[in-house]
Amino acid sequence: MSNRADIHRQNLVKIFNPGSIAVVGTNNMKGTVPYDILFNILKTEFTGVVFPVSPGERSICSVKAYKYVIDISDPVDLAIIVFPSAVCHMALEQCGQKGIKGVVIISAGFREVGEKGLEREKQLSIIAEKYGMSIIGPNCLGIINTDPRINLNASFARKMPEQGNIGFLSQSGALCTAVLDYALAKHIGFSKFISFGNKMDISEIDLMYYLMEDEATKVILLYLEEVTDGRALMQAARDVTRLSGKP
């Protein structure tokens, strides 16, 4: 296992079980993704502490806002970045300075828009390696953990799915919303629901190994739009089915 894979393995625990979250780049504009991310975390009664970070706001959803993430005096386990892509690297640098190890970047405008976006991803990769951070995304819907001890909907999906034992991984955010709507109508539950977008850092392979060790997950469903390492993917699938030790 590579050094980055080891780092991801440690950081993914905090990403899905955070005691505190900073929503970096949120705002007071209802109906926008930056607002909806924070609102969903609050609405589903996340059991930890939430810190809105917004340079231009005093408070959001009646919660005190901070100008910069480094202004937060308490420790932060997870950062959800929703700033425009052109400034995400500055937000990520501050997250690194703050000592945050787990990051989900919701923002679009990266490799999916061409060469300029790819360069932005490279900037993020350099910063992540510098500080030992792990990143889900960018260009993703977000993540959900239905464990009642956590109650985390760090996504812009409108509804929280029911609790269950399926770990769902998808590179497509649009598919995520369709699956969530169907699952809610059919009362199908999930343990974790993960949109990983461009998989710039954390890949489906990292997530499969994480879910393999997750006590709440008995089944893993995966949707991919591209395969970057077929051999590693097949090995992960074999390991999950053979070594999980789950009934």
Cis peptide before 138 (omega within 30 of 0): yes
Residue found under tokens 């369709």? 178
Q: What is the spatial distance between Cα 172 and Cα 197, in angstroms, rounded to a whole number?
A: 6
Average pLDDT score over the chain = 94
**pLDDT attached to residue 142:** 97
**Helices (H), ranges, the chain:** 3-16, 33-43, 88-98, 115-131, 173-186, 204-212, 230-243
- Per-residue pLDDT, averaged over 49-56, amounts to 96
Element (H, E) at 236: helix 230-243
Confidence band for 247, pLDDT divided at 50, 70 and 90:
very low
* Cβ atoms < 10 Å from Cβ of 111: 18
Amino acid at 129: E
* Each residue's pLDDT tens digit, 111-160: 999 999 999 999 999 999 999 999 999 999 999 999 999 999 999 998 89
Instruction: Report the C-alpha dihedral over residues 160, 17, 213, 103, rounded to 10 degrees.
Output: 90
Residue 119: alpha-carbon gap to chain centroid: 21
For the stretch 77-122, pLDDT in tens is 999 999 999 999 999 999 999 999 999 999 999 999 999 999 999 9
> Are the C-beta atoms of residues 82 and 21 closer than 8 Å to each other?
no
What's the pLDDT at 136? Answer: 98
- Judge contact between 80 and 15, C-beta under 8 A: no
